[in-house]
Amino acid sequence: MSARRLLHTSPEGARWSLAREDREVFVLHEAGGAPERIGLARFLDGDPAAPERRALIDLVATLAEAVPVTGAPPEAGAAAAEPSPGEAVL
């Protein structure tokens, strides 16, 4: 596993994690047996009230909150602005 972030642990001990291996991103479900890889589309298509699904939705929502949107979107084909000297490129 290249990277893993815990989403939810059930009272019974089942665990759901957002995982990445190479370029594949999936939900890893561990519940006593062999771990199960669940594709994101299938996972998100599940029970809307499931706490593990809600946890993934909440995590994705934090990405939208992290970077405020300002102004109009760039024109198609427009180059990005160059960073100022000393400015971090993320």
The model's confidence at residue 11, banded by pLDDT at 50, 70 and 90, is very high
Residue-level pLDDT at 65 = 78
pTM reported for the whole predicted model? 0.69
Q: Quick one: tokens of 71?
A: 């102004």
Provide the greatest CA pair distance for the chain: 53
- Quick one: how far is CA 51 from the chain centroid? 15
Per residue in 39-84, pLDDT (tens digit) is 999 999 999 999 999 999 999 998 887 677 676 666 776 666 666 6
pLDDT tens digit string along 74-90? 677 666 666 666 655 54
